[in-house]
Amino acid sequence: MAENAYEIAQRQFEKAVRYVDLKADIAAYLRVPKRELIVNFPVEMDDDSVRVFTGYRVHHNTALGPTKGGIRYHPDVSLDEVRALAMWMTWKCAVVGLPYGGAKGGVICDPKALSVRELENLTRRYATEISVLMSPQGDIPAPDMGTGEREMAWIMDTYSMHRGYSVPAVVTGKPLAIGGSLGRSEATGRGVMITTLEALKRKNIAVEGVRVVVQGFGKVGAPAAYLIEERGAKIIAVSDAQGGVYNPQGLNARELLAYATTQGTVTGYTKAEPLSNADLLALECEVLMPCALENQITATNAPRVRAKIIAEGANGPLTPEADEILIDKGVFIIPDILCNAGGVTVSYFEWVQDLQSFFWGEDEINERLRQIMVRSFNQILRVSHEKKIDPRTAAQVLGIQRVAEAVRIRGIYP
């Protein structure tokens, strides 16, 4: 049975808050979401039947600014998962210095089992249901697992139709043609790559020939793989929901991505041997990038992990028990709220560009992203050394301190 993500987020908070000079009542306030919306809505299907879907939108905190967070379409979406993801978004935005609070949304559905028309009907109806919370100044959704540019375009259009004029800044992760940002599609993977390079420097490991294993070869894992490969690393194994492939001599990440795009999976790739997900996590390598779902490395399989660095491209891929085991083994864990913050950082750039209707070049975006990720990495390491705590707890401490300071300065209304 998978661990409850919200319970894990709470446990991480409890561990970190011990290192923050915080009144108990403010800690109690930061421990829970500000608001939670549950919507049950009808969708007309292709066979003219009507199906009722359940969706969520959770705002964790608004002390630093409007809420920001993705929308997930997955059969296993639950209120507790959305609560956890919203809470992590609060700390993530604070850690990288963005003027946002954390939010998350989701619909319980299997997007692969729906036609394009059914997905559009579902997305537009869900957007209408949560539009009571959405606005460029209030709550700005983005893509997550099971959603992408297309769904963001539908949400933006639905919101705009209700307003009577176009509102590009209400979502991020949109297509370029309607106010999307250059560099956004690769941003999360690029952030994983940047923080991994920083971790390698701290470990005094040269990037040339470094063996990298990627779990989850999707919107995060694939760019992370080919971008670090371009820096000289060797991708020896990747996996997706169907299975994995392994070649100790190295895979060509872009070639494998082209194969996976046409076949719908990496399995069956002829220049590598098949590999199970369980065996992939246990491969000997310098860098392991879990870029799939939560709870992938637990107390059960953590002892088998042989990576020196774990770069958390996914949200919550390690359980607290796995953390303890791996830290004892000397593994350097780049925590999710830093490692995968590239996506929300470039989402912030997209929002700023939309609000001012003035767009930046891709080189400028990538350089601004690099500066923010490196600065945040160094700040977390400083807290880690000062307080003698692991990087995940240090990242949470940094995030909690910044949100708590905003709450203190703003005061409690009324």
Residues 105 and 217 in one domain: no
In a domain, 407, yes or no: no
Residues 171 and 200 in one domain: no
- Domain edge (last residue) among 152, 178, 204: 178
Residues 198 and 328 in one domain: yes
Residues 196 and 254 in one domain: yes
CATH number at residue 65: 3.40.50.10860
Give 110's pLDDT tier (boundaries 50, 70, 90).
Answer: very high
Residues 92 and 111 in one domain: yes
Residues 200 and 307 in one domain: yes
pLDDT at 30 over 90: yes
Active-site position among 68, 92, 104, 174: 104
Average pLDDT on 64-71 reads: 98
In a domain, 17, yes or no: no
Give 63's pLDDT tier (boundaries 50, 70, 90).
Answer: very high
Residues 201 and 125 in one domain: no
Instruction: Give the pLDDT confidence score for residue 38 in this predicted structure.
Output: 98
Total structural domains in the chain?
2
Residues 317 and 230 in one domain: yes
Give 183's pLDDT tier (boundaries 50, 70, 90).
Answer: very high
In a domain, 79, yes or no: yes
In a domain, 2, yes or no: no
Residues 95 and 195 in one domain: no
CB burial readout 290-315, b (16+ within 10 A) else e: bbbbbbbbbeeebeebebbbbbbbbb
CB burial readout 76-113, b (16+ within 10 A) else e: ebbbbbbbbbbbbbbbbbbbbbbebbbbbbbbbbebee
Instruction: Give the pLDDT confidence score for residue 1 in this predicted structure.
Output: 59
**Alpha-carbon dihedral angle through residues 168, 174, 180, 186, given to the nearest 10 degrees:** 150
CB burial readout 245-284, b (16+ within 10 A) else e: bbbeebbebeebbebbeeeeebbebeebeebebeebbbbe
Average pLDDT on 116-144 reads: 97
Average pLDDT on 64-85 reads: 97
Residues 191 and 307 in one domain: yes
- The overall average pLDDT reported for the chain is 96
Specify the residue for token string 């697992």.
Answer: 145
Coil, strand or helix: which one is 30?
helix
- Domain edge (last residue) among 291, 313, 339: 339
CA-CA distance, 342 to 220, in Å (whole number)? 10
CATH number at residue 192: 3.40.50.720
pLDDT at 259 over 90: yes
pLDDT at 2 over 80: no
Question: How much of the chain, in percent, has pLDDT values that exceed 90?
Answer: 98
Question: How much of the chain, in percent, has pLDDT values that exceed 70?
Answer: 100
Residues 143 and 238 in one domain: no
Give the structural domain span for 304: 187-339
Average pLDDT on 210-228 reads: 97
In a domain, 25, yes or no: no
CA-CA distance, 396 to 95, in Å (whole number)? 8
- For residue range 394-405, what is the model confidence (pLDDT) as tens digits? 999 999 999 999
In a domain, 40, yes or no: yes
In a domain, 75, yes or no: yes
Instruction: Give the pLDDT confidence score for residue 294 in this predicted structure.
Output: 87
Instruction: Give the pLDDT confidence score for residue 105 in this predicted structure.
Output: 98
Residues 259 and 300 in one domain: yes
Active-site annotation holds for 104: yes
- For residue range 194-211, what is the model confidence (pLDDT) as tens digits? 999 999 999 999 999 999
- For residue range 308-354, what is the model confidence (pLDDT) as tens digits? 999 999 999 999 999 999 999 999 999 999 999 999 999 999 999 99
Q: List Cβ neighbours of 331 (8 Å cut-off, separation of 6 or more).
A: 305, 307, 308, 309, 310
- Domain edge (last residue) among 178, 203, 219: 178
In a domain, 7, yes or no: no
pLDDT at 234 over 70: yes
pLDDT at 159 over 90: yes
Q: What is the DSSP letter of 3?
A: P
Instruction: Give the pLDDT confidence score for residue 131 in this predicted structure.
Output: 97
pTM of the model: 0.95
